[in-house]
Structure 1
């Protein structure tokens, strides 16, 4: 499935775009089910949890922390004002997560019951025993779809050693105006400087993994490379494989079009995954990919 050049590009740049990896009928099924889920969920008993990505104001309530084996809905920051939605719920949700790959047949078929996906994982050789641990539909709503700043996935799905690998599937056209992803090629060699954890007193936060001097050096190098980011526009069915340490981001969606994408992550089953991580398996263990 992968050419030698494609495999080399992934390990050199830290990401790889695979065009038309998901066939149109499956893309249509994922998009249709995503919109159906948004239409069906009950707003009356929802805590109006917003998804935020800032270092000092990240989501951390129980609705979020217990979502690993459930299907939960998280609102855009600008969609909730004074405890009320500013728009219809279908146009207010930032993402649906985090157990879609286990609980929803259309998503399970693409993630866990997909022989082509298994072949890709084998050929990539990134994991020996890959486990799927979370999945999301990210809607990037028109006008209010929030910016996602520079980050790497291993910060949020930390293992020792780092082993996160992301699979990001476009369900709609992803363009420069509605929040397509941008990547800093080669930045996967940058040290993971912090990790996102459950705080002992409740909620979530970041704890350092390196000295302040190393963190400052990494931040300075990243700032100096900001003009080296590459924007990767995608068509429905394109999939981006994302090294857990590569820096990437997306801009705010100020267009009049949504940017639906389905993304899931794997980790190495033989790496250490501890209780500090925000995402815990709860009643549903992480699923093996190569069965």
Structure 2
């Protein structure tokens, strides 16, 4: 197959640490993925669900870390918006305060392997393989495939972060493939990036399984943390995109997204790649299993 990325696009990727490819997927392909999301949401069964929410606000109640989350690497599980679930009291259990299909923050983390539609557009699409080859990936392995819903009115913000903190390899090799299934705008929570930050960031902290259970952050030995307050720097750029866009995200580039106060959903599908030759250790929160190792993209 001929290269997908032009020399100019590869230079932009190198310079900015992210690349927006509008119209990468056709309207029909995008609709197929979006219809599958709606089907999954309609099939969401609350019976037996622990009402596990997904939060990214480290300074409030900490990141998620129950078994439902930690054991999701080889399953399709549903994680709820924190504001969609009432707090439990001594006399009243937690419960949903919004319709079931509007309560979901994300669905993951093995959609690319277990769901036929998302498998098709991850492993079977020659364009995805060619993009990875164009970027110089030698043996990319796919992990953490998920839908993120960003629900109307309650879809929460995602603070400034980079992906290699959460999918740590030595050396850092993570790349995100982020696919817009609907229009992603400043009004409903599109991505923003700090271009070029991937060249300055030192991965000095990583998100790990805590020895006492749950998750925590720990420092990377021998790596001095950056002094920059990335969120406060000038130069952030919003990246609004239309349905079918593919956004490539370097594992070290700083990015974020605001909450969704609008009446429109912001559905996206995303998966990550790491190099098979890099060390991915047992401290990472997401772990492969003997039944489902991280799958080779080129296989």
TM-score bracket for the superposition, by shorter chain length: over 0.9
| Number of the residue aligned with 2:91 | none
1:194 and 2:205 matched = yes
Aligned to 2:208, the other structure's residue is in SS state strand
Q: 1:250-289 counterparts in 2 under 5 A?
A: 250-282=257-289, 283-289=291-297
Q: Distance in 2 between matches of 1:25 and 1:70?
A: 27
Count of residue pairs brought into register by the alignment: 286
Structure holding more helix per residue: 1
Instruction: Indicate the residue corresponding to 1:80 in structure 2.
Output: 85
Tell me how far 1:220 sits from its aligned partner.
2.8
What is the CA distance between 1:224 and its match in structure 2? 4.5
Secondary structure at the residue paired with 1:60? coil
Offset of residue 211 of structure 1: 7.0
- Runs (4+) of structure 1 moved beyond 4 Å? none
Q: Which runs of 5+ in 2 are unaligned?
A: 88-93
Out of 9, 23, 34, the residue aligned to residue 31 of structure 1 is 34
In the alignment, structure 1 segments of 5+ residues that lack a partner are none
Who is 1:240 aligned against? 247
Matched, 1:176 2:186: yes
**Please, what TM-score do these two structures have when normalized by structure 1?**
0.96
Query: How far apart, CA to CA, are the structure 2 residues paired with 1:73 and 1:223?
Result: 29
Output the CA distance in 2 between the equivalents of 1:121 and 1:60: 31
- Distance apart, 1:55 and its partner CA: 2.2
Name which of 14, 18, 40 aligns with 1:15.
18
Which residue is 2:66 aligned to? 61
2:238 to 231, 235, 246: 231
Using the size of structure 2 for normalisation, the TM-score is: 0.93
Q: Is the 8 A contact 1:55 1:206 kept in 2?
A: no
User: Contact 1:50/1:77 (CA < 8 Å) preserved in 2?
Assistant: yes
State the Cα distance separating 1:128 from its structure 2 match: 1.1
Alpha-carbon RMSD: 1.3
Deviation of 1:221 after TM superposition, in Å, equals: 4.6
Q: 1:219–1:137: structure 2 CA closer, same or farther, 3 Å change rule?
A: farther
What is the distance in 2 between the residues matched to 1:55 and 1:84? Answer: 23
Residues 178-229 of structure 1 show CA distances to partners (whole Å, capped at 9, x for unaligned) of 00000000011210120000001000010012679x43xx24352441x311
